[in-house]
Structure 1
């Protein structure tokens, strides 16, 4: 029971962190049809901006302003970069964002170095919130849960219950009609791209000290984010949420399972003396999201709740 409870808590928290990161990418794709390969780099920018602002002021100041700074960078990228290559098609957009990811990575290495920075959990949240089954649970993880839920609710209200959300959804399917009604469609696109990058930045602010803040964090999280988006369905926020929670729980529970293939499939004569038999489920945990991705693409190419196929 102890393993189940802690794996459930950690899985939900990790899944919500994945959703914070993937929601921005999903929003950008659903709105603009752009698959932003540099999205995880904006996540890294959020963590490094938060580290810098925290060192100069406080973590709470960084929690507010670091995502805004990342959003402004994203808006500038869309206005002066992505918008110019948009007319050349999706291949040009992919190449542009792919190159942008490398550029951001190299700038981070030049400015901060190649080693991890000392971006820590704030002292105000660095304490055990409760004790369960004799083990202490950190308060910061519950704070991450609350921030992720607040972001989820705010995003849902913005898109479903406000006039701005209606304009954004209308611009998705009928951009020319929205333009004829007097709305600045390029400005809407720039705002959506900036907001999507800001969401990635927010994930970096609260995830950088939970995981690690180093120049390789984008390369680590980037593939997982695309797995989430594809499994959930391209352009579906609901699908991204379901896929994020599913992958968070799947990886967390898999890590806690120490059973080997020999234990699971001993009835077919698989022995622990063989190389395959000695492999444990915990060792396969990093591979499970990609195995699930292959399965989803084979069974349902458009994802769990998506309408577009790759």
Structure 2
């Protein structure tokens, strides 16, 4: 541990600004992935271990679209929409067959899908590392904030993730569709009795959750190296987040994502060898003291 280096960084406005912005970048990207995972689990009660693969697909969809069109906005839209459509196809063809199955069966099926997606990417793009590069629209000088300098694209990533999260929260909590989805999570039989097509709703929910993972992948593509299997680390972090925040809680996913973002950003300086250990330790404490998560509710199922 190097607490002195961490304190020295926090005492410098330039270093503190850099690390805080890094924390929000990591946290907001994790929030997009984790909120989709939390939505799927909260409504469908499926532990979607293939979610990291969908994040990877979003990044590669963005890379392919940008390579062909040189249009970053088109790449971002394709990343979200195409990944959402892949998610709907997976839900209809495979995931729908394991509703109500035990956890082991869900994990095995979803892990198999992850391996299939990884090998498909490896077959199409090869195993070499790929770089999308910074879009021309964001090839700007860094923005000076509180003595530090933050690339314009980083600020865009934070803002875009925040807007996507707010739209999801508003849809789930303030719209008629959101009320139906919440009712579906509590009592799907009653929703079906009311004449609502629950099959379609399940597909839409899984597609939205997948689209959020794809959007995160598209946002990360300009600043990350793309490689098969790149979604695994995000998947593990996302599971930690939804355990800490609470299964099915969008607000909980946001708070936990920002917490994990700060642990990673500050831990890289203060305790680089124990960053992951601290995340798992916090998760363990939450599971002991509040098994449903900080913002979760005890399941009525």
TM-score by length of 1: 0.87
SS at match of 1:283: coil
- Shift in Å, 1:302: 2.2
Out of 173, 179, 183, the residue aligned to residue 186 of structure 2 is 173
Alignment partners' CA distance in 2, 1:6 and 1:248: 13
SS at match of 1:128: coil
Distance in 1 (CA, whole Å) between partners of 2:292 and 2:189 is 27
For 2:130 and 2:237, the matched residues in 1 are separated by 23
**Corresponding position: 1:61 with 2:51:** no
SS in structure 2 of the partner of residue 215 of structure 1: coil
- Note if contact 1:17-1:203 (Cα within 8 Å) is conserved in structure 2: yes
Residue 127 of structure 1: how far off its partner (Å):
2.0
User: Which residue of 2 is the match for residue 85 of structure 1?
Assistant: 98
Is 1:141 aligned with 2:154? yes
What count of residue pairs does the alignment treat as equivalent?
286
Deviation at 1:156, TM superposition (A): 1.5
SS in 2 for 1:131: strand
Q: 1:126 to 1:286 in 2, by over 3 A?
A: farther
1:1-310 correspondence to structure 2 within 5 Å: 1-57=13-69, 58-86=71-99, 88-132=101-145, 135-257=148-270, 281-308=271-298
Q: Aligned-pair distance for 1:122?
A: 0.6
Q: Give unpaired runs (5+ residues) of structure 2.
A: 1-12
Contact 1:251 1:288 survives alignment (8 Å):
no
Aligned partners of 2:56 and 2:231 also within 8 Å? yes
Asked if 1 retains the 8 angstrom alpha-carbon contact of 2:169 and 2:250, the reply is no
* Deviation at residue 2 of structure 1 after TM alignment: 2.4
- Provide closer, same or farther for how the CA distance between residues 182 and 246 of structure 1 changes in structure 2, counting only shifts above 3 A: same
Distance 1:297 1:68, change over 3 A: same
Residue 90 of structure 1 and its aligned partner are, at CA, apart by 3.9
CA distance in 2, matches of 1:302, 1:175: 21
SS of alignment partner, residue 117 of structure 1? coil
Distance 2:95 2:184 in 1: 18
Q: Which runs of 4+ in 1 moved over 6 A?
A: none
Pick closer, same or farther for the CA change 1:63–1:114 going to 2, 3 Å: same
Q: Which has the larger radius of gyration?
A: 1
Tell me by how many angstroms 1:124 deviates: 1.0
Rounded to whole Å, the distance in 1 between the matches of 2:286 and 2:40 is 22
Higher relative contact order (CA 8 A, sep 6+): 2
Q: CA RMSD in A?
A: 1.7
Are the aligned partners of 2:27 and 2:261 in contact in 1 as well (CA < 8 Å)?
Answer: yes
TM-score between the two structures when normalised by the length of structure 2: 0.90
